[in-house]
Amino acid sequence: MDIVFISELEIQTVIGVFDWERKIRQTVSIDLEMETDITQAGRLDDLQYTLDYKSITKRIIEFVEASHFLLIESLAEGIAHLLRDEFNITWLKLRLSKPGAIRSAKTVGVIIERGQRA
């Protein structure tokens, strides 16, 4: 199987457990790998046979901007669930980070894999 990926997608959202975090929008960064078979898309040069990363990106942005999760773990699960349901993705690997969350670290975050690889 093949991988379609999106890298360093930055989105503003309400995220965090502290009261001050609930009053502002912060940046989260998403790296995403999605398994699919691109053989027919490559052979026929036709978008219908692959994952449309523009549509996927637009949907992720809509979801994240409207969300108000406390934990990045919950946000990651929400994104994974949405992608698997709405885009019929059987396996994905999602890296969600929150730059600047810890003063002495560039970023912190989680990496999750959901579904079964072919």
Would you give per-residue pLDDT tens digits along the chain (118 residues)? 999 999 999 999 999 999 999 999 999 999 999 999 999 999 999 999 999 999 999 999 999 999 999 999 999 999 999 999 999 999 999 999 999 999 999 999 999 999 999 8
pTM equals: 0.95
Instruction: Give the C-alpha separation, 114 to 107, whole Å.
Output: 23
Q: Is 98 a catalytic residue?
A: yes
Instruction: Give the C-alpha separation, 100 to 94, whole Å.
Output: 19
What are the structural domain ranges in the chain?
A: 2-115
CB 92 within 8 A of CB 33: yes
- Pick the catalytic residue: 23, 54, 93, 98? 98
Instruction: Give the C-alpha separation, 35 to 83, whole Å.
Output: 12
The angle, 0 to 180 degrees and rounded to 10, between the axes of the packed helices 72-86 and 53-66 is 140
CATH topology of domain 2-115: GTP Cyclohydrolase I, domain 2 (3.30.1130)
40 three-state secondary structure: helix
